[in-house]
Amino acid sequence: MLAALLYGQEDLRLEQVADPTPADSEVVIQVGTATTCGTDLKVWRRGGHAKMLKPPTLFGHEAAGQIVAVGAGVTGWQVGDRVVANNSAPCMECFFCQRKEYSLCPNLTWNNGTFAEYLKIPAPIVQHNLLRIPDELPFELAAITEPLACVLHGVARSNVKAKDKVVVLGDGAIGLMFVAALADTAEVLLWGGNDHRLKIGEKLGAVKTFNYHQILDIPSVVKELTQGWGADVVIEATGVPSVWETAIACARPGATVNLFGGCPRDTTITVNTEQLHYSELNLKGVFHNKPEYVRSALALIASRRIPFELLISERRSLQDLEQVFYDMKARKVIKVAMTP
Closest CA to 338 of 167, 143, 104, 48: 143
Burial of 240: CB neighbours in 10 Å, binned 0-12, 13-18, 19+? middle
**Same domain? 125 vs 233:** no
Closest CA to 236 of 140, 153, 147, 171: 171
pLDDT of residue 50: 67
Q: What CA–CA distance (Å, rounded) separates 153 from 170?
A: 17
Range of the domain at 270: 158-285
Secondary structure class of 22 (helix, strand, coil) = coil
**Same domain? 164 vs 134:** no
Last-in-domain residue among 250, 265, 285 = 285
pLDDT of residue 280: 98
**Same domain? 281 vs 292:** no
pLDDT of residue 104: 97
- Which residues does the chain have with pLDDT short of 50? none
Is residue 207 within 8 Å of residue 188, measured between CB atoms? yes
pTM value surpassing 0.85: yes
pLDDT of residue 117: 98
**Same domain? 20 vs 136:** yes
Number of domains composing the chain: 2
CATH number at residue 327: 3.90.180.10
**Same domain? 145 vs 162:** no
**Same domain? 331 vs 225:** no
**Same domain? 334 vs 256:** no
Q: Say how many C-beta atoms besides its own lie within 10 A of residue 211's C-beta.
A: 14
Question: Given the DSSP bridges, would you call strands 109-110 and 88-89 parallel, antiparallel or unpaired?
Answer: antiparallel
pLDDT of residue 1: 97
Phi, psi of 301 (to 5 degrees): -60, -45
Could you list the beta-strand ranges (E) of 86-139.
88-89, 109-110, 118-121, 130-132
**Same domain? 174 vs 310:** no
pLDDT of residue 68: 98
R_g of the chain computed on alpha carbons: 20
Secondary structure class of 278 (helix, strand, coil) = helix
CATH number at residue 231: 3.40.50.720
Q: What CA–CA distance (Å, rounded) separates 201 from 189?
A: 9
Region for 257 from its dihedrals, namely left if φ exceeds 0, alpha if ψ lies in -120 to 50, beta otherwise: beta
**Same domain? 79 vs 214:** no
pLDDT of residue 132: 98
**Same domain? 171 vs 95:** no
pLDDT of residue 48: 77
Question: Given the DSSP bridges, would you call strands 118-121 and 57-58 parallel, antiparallel or unpaired?
Answer: unpaired
**Same domain? 195 vs 311:** no
**Same domain? 137 vs 165:** no
